[in-house]
A and B are shown apart, each in its own frame.
Chain A
């Protein structure tokens, strides 16, 4: 006879409500884990997208993500000619606010050279950029659709394709335009300003610079030798892909990551206390019955089983409800929520450990109950 299940069935509604409450708490914990993962994944997405081997940036900077980097656009030709480089492409990044649909659309504009490293890797819908100007490929989270027109700076761009998972470390969705358009967007002055500059006798500033040059490496090439060679140019620095990812995590998202990590730790601690309190209260409410069981001869294992089984059922139900809820709602979060099976399993392990530990408190109270308390009352 399973006393734990019988007791649960007796107060099923209350138990289900308790499980649901715990499930909501687990949903919050899982969403924080997902947000934490999403922050890291988003931050790395833009670095990983070009599948670069080496990033050539301005000397003395950790560009182009951690800080600004400007190098001459013709650096690409020099890098492409270096031994061990399969292909190279110049690339540019900037944030813009575009008016669209009566509202404002914050975009991360990536300028690339079509046919060279830096272009979107997989078009999810529509097509890639086919002309030199005024076409863009947007991340799906922008809400843009192929065929729509968007004004960026002084020009209108046609959306020709969509990609998934392209954004910067702040979660702003990316749009890809040609490098020429991106450079124009970055440097072209407003017509009034151009007129003032012309009246002064100076031309508008059109610096042919890019943020970085990314190089794909030939199989078997010595990356260390290549980066060392690039650094011989005093105005350039070279970072491997791994170094670039490390810089991004260490400097750009580190604070936010630690903030969320700390909050997650607090949330897990609160969850542990709540679970412990629920289980302890459930046990305390049963002390009279436990005294009766002891009096009629129930061994300790029966009483321990009653408490531990209920604690584990509660924990497993709460975890399951939490998992179902977060999987249902995660796509409605404004930023990406990335939940790996490993995360859910780790949380299950933590909940299991907390339930066992919390049961320990209940079991201790149950073991101290005097069977005589069942008599005479």
Chain B
């Protein structure tokens, strides 16, 4: 796989909720391509369609129209072309949430390894990969800690490790630095950028955090469900 390969290919995507007078057009005719190694931000006011677009790319909600291609595979073209969307997410997409969403009953290491367990990998291999990722993100010493005992920055790095565990080439992040101070937010974004380059992945981030705008290759603005500019 050469760097610069198109990993996200969204063409003519629209999404509306409701019908008739209650119809809301959340997305209108969206075209977006993201390449390997790219880190982009989705910006816009509340209700502009950022999260809806993230959910469409993440195969969480079904578009009303258009085509979606992920990692070279067309997954939606008027209808889903894959039956098992969860498996698709497991194989191709990593998610980073605003509030880390780590499972409270698992340790940091287990929170990362659970993704590999779900993918059917041997437990030992999962633990080794989890440990490597946590070390890489400089939270390896906290591997045995439960999320309740991690600081905000540590928990978010564990969440990033989880998102990367199964070597996804598409990482979707929803306000990943919202709970962090400016310095930690910058560190987290630097880490994510480094990973995107190392793993030939792309990162699409929904954010309002102006402090980290300079960490992105592109800033994509949405307004009323349309791409305003790029």
Contact = CB atoms under 8 A, between A and B. Distances in A.
Interface in A313-371: 370-371
Contacts, number: 81
Contact residues of A: prevailing secondary structure: helix
Interface string A226-256: 0000000000000000000000000000000
Contacts of B175: 376
B55 interface: yes
Contact of B104 (A10, A293, A298, A370): A10
Contact of B54 (A298, A299, A375): A375
Interface stretch (A1-9, A34-42, A179-187): A1-9
Interface residues of B, number: 36
Contact of B60 (A9, A11, A288, A295): A295
A296 B159 CA distance: 11
Interface string B90-102: 1100010111010
A375 B114 contact: no
B29 interface: no
Contacts of A3: 103, 105-106, 114
Contacts of B88: 297
B149 interface: no
A149 interface: no
Contacts of A371: 60, 86
A181 to B, nearest CB: 72
Interface string A264-291: 0000000000000000000000001100
Contacts of B87: 297, 299
A377 B55 CA distance: 14
A96 B46 CA distance: 87
A376 B51 contact: yes
Contact of A296 (B110, B146, B162, B174): B162
Q: Which of A9, A296, A377 has the most CB of B within 10 A?
A: A296
Interface in B22-72: 51, 54-55, 58, 60-61
Contacts of B117: 1
B10 to A, nearest CB: 18
Contacts of A302: 118
A298 B86 contact: yes
A305 to B, nearest CB: 12
Contacts of A376: 51, 97-98, 174-175, 206
B118 A292 contact: no
A292 B103 contact: yes
A376 B117 CA distance: 25
Contacts of B105: 3, 6-7, 9-11
Contact of A1 (B58, B60, B89, B113): B113
Given A10-B104, A374-B97, A375-B174, A296 B89 contact: yes
A294 interface: yes
A372 interface: yes
Given A294-B86, A296-B118, A297-B90, A372 B104 contact: no
Q: Which of B91, B98, B104, B113 has the most CB of A within 10 A?
A: B104
Given A292-B103, A296-B118, A298-B118, A375 B86 contact: no
A377 B105 CA distance: 19
B204 interface: no
B51 A375 contact: yes
A6 B106 contact: yes
A304 to B, nearest CB: 13
A299 B101 contact: no
B119 interface: yes
A3 to B, nearest CB: 8
A296 B90 contact: yes
A128 to B, nearest CB: 66
Contacts of B126: 1
B14 interface: no
B118 A297 contact: yes
B144 interface: no
B118 A299 contact: yes
B123 interface: yes
A76 B96 CA distance: 94
B8 interface: no
12 contacts: A1-B106, A3-B114, A9-B105, A11-B105, A289-B103, A289-B104, A295-B58, A297-B87, A297-B90, A299-B118, A302-B118, A371-B60
Given A302-B118, A374-B95, A375-B54, 12 more contacts: A294-B86, A297-B86, A297-B89, A297-B118, A298-B86, A299-B84, A299-B87, A371-B60, A374-B97, A375-B97, A376-B175, A377-B98
